[in-house]
């Protein structure tokens, strides 16, 4: 009887260990409801009725989220942070250096030592505010984000937007430089990046007007916002894939994501399973998520 009880106890402890391991491996952004349809993310905590929330990005552990809260006219945006603790996302707090200027679109570098983002903060001592949105980054030392660093080698005199990385460190972003609207890639090198190179405009299709974009970790697909003749609303989300070295003409993600409203600021979760994006309804934006398996 004693041996049988011991074996039962060992079996139970093993089952609990496996169960706890499964729980630990389930990211805090997991959502069963999002397996088949787009659902609001963390309503009342991250997605609220009183603010305009955009561009939610997670650390690799999935227990930290960075995003931006903006005024409805987008003249001011502040980057926010929330941690998943005690089984719930906590009320978001602004990043200590953010809030004085329009600042948004945070994205972790592959090793999570930096966040790259866009800002209108002054690029030199003579400006009150930059005329365009430029690329910046902040380094994390311990638990503190350091003073932001302007990235002139990546930025231009036009709006440079929405940075995102491949797993090997190549930086992709849309830019309105040279009186055009294109995607650019700055390939990683040992101590920085190569000069940004434009991706072909053919990927947008006829008349496509592009906006925010996110590169997949393997560098083989881009999801981005765009307005085109087949758009359902003011802006839809599309995907282009890299096939045999060529970017395909973008296809709509369909009506599980796109509506008669406006969808933009796409982000792919660190595990590659979810798409996060902002949907504007009644003039107010909130963050939604849907499993990529529901779309492809």
Please give the radius of gyration of the chain, using alpha carbons only, rounded to the nearest integer: 21
C-alpha 135: how far from its chain's center? 15
Q: Give me the CATH number covering residue 247.
A: 2.120.10.30
In a shared domain, residues 48 and 178: yes
Q: Which residues contact 6 (CB under 8 A, 6 or more apart)?
A: none
Q: Which residues contact 98 (CB under 8 A, 6 or more apart)?
A: 78, 79, 80
In a shared domain, residues 25 and 138: no
The pLDDT of residue 5? 37
In a shared domain, residues 14 and 69: no
In a shared domain, residues 219 and 77: yes
How far apart (Å, rounded) are the C-alpha atoms in residues 37 and 56? 18
Is-contact 201 184, C-beta < 8 A? Answer: no
In a shared domain, residues 10 and 62: no
Burial class (CB in 10 A: 0-12, 13-18, 19+), 113: exposed
Which residue's structure tokens are 């916002």?
A: 225
In a shared domain, residues 17 and 138: no
- The pTM score is 0.90
| Long-range own/partner contacts, residues 64-73 (CB < 8 A, 24 or more apart) | 65/29, 65/89, 65/92, 66/95, 66/106, 66/108, 66/115, 67/92, 67/106, 67/287, 68/103, 68/104, 68/105, 68/106, 70/104, 70/285, 72/283, 72/284
In a shared domain, residues 74 and 151: yes
Q: How many domains does the chain have?
A: 2
Which ranges of the chain have pLDDT less than 70? 1-24, 126
CA atoms within 13 Å, Cβ hemisphere of 241 = 6
In a shared domain, residues 40 and 1: no
pLDDT digits (tens, 9 = 90+) for 256-289: 999 999 999 999 999 999 999 999 998 899 999 9
Structural domain including 65 reads 31-294
The pLDDT of residue 120? 95
The pLDDT of residue 126? 67
């Amino acid at each position: 009887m004693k041996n049988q009880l011991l074996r039962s106890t060992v079996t139970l402890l093993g089952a609990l260990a496996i169960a706890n391991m499964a729980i630990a491996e389930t990211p805090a952004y997991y959502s069963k409801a999002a397996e088949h349809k787009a659902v609001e993310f963390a309503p009342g905590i991250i997605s609220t009725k009183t603010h305009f929330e955009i561009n939610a990005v997670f650390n690799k552990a999935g227990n930290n989220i960075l995003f931006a809260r903006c005024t409805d006219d987008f003249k001011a945006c502040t980057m926010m942070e929330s941690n998943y603790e005690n089984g719930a996302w906590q009320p978001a707090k602004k990043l200590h250096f953010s809030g004085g200027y329009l600042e948004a679109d945070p994205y972790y570098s592959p090793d999570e030592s930096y966040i790259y983002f866009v800002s209108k903060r002054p690029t030199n001592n003579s400006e009150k505010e930059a005329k365009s949105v430029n690329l910046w980054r902040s380094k994390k030392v311990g638990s503190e984000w350091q003073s932001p660093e302007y990235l002139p080698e990546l930025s231009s005199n036009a709006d440079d937007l929405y940075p995102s990385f491949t797993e090997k460190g190549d930086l992709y972003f849309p830019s309105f430089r040279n009186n055009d609207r294109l995607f650019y890639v700055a390939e990683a090198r040992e101590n920085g990046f190569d000069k940004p190179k434009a991706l072909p405009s053919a990927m947008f299709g006829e008349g496509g007007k592009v906006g925010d974009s996110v590169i997949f970790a393997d560098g083989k697909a881009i999801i981005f916002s765009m307005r085109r003749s087949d758009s359902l609303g003011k802006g839809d989300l599309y995907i282009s894939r890299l096939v045999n070295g060529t970017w395909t003409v973008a296809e709509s993600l369909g009506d599980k994501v796109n509506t008669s409203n406006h969808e933009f600021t796409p982000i792919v979760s660190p595990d590659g399973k979810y798409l996060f994006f902002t949907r504007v309804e009644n003039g107010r934006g909130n963050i939604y998520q849907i499993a990529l398996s529901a779309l492809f």
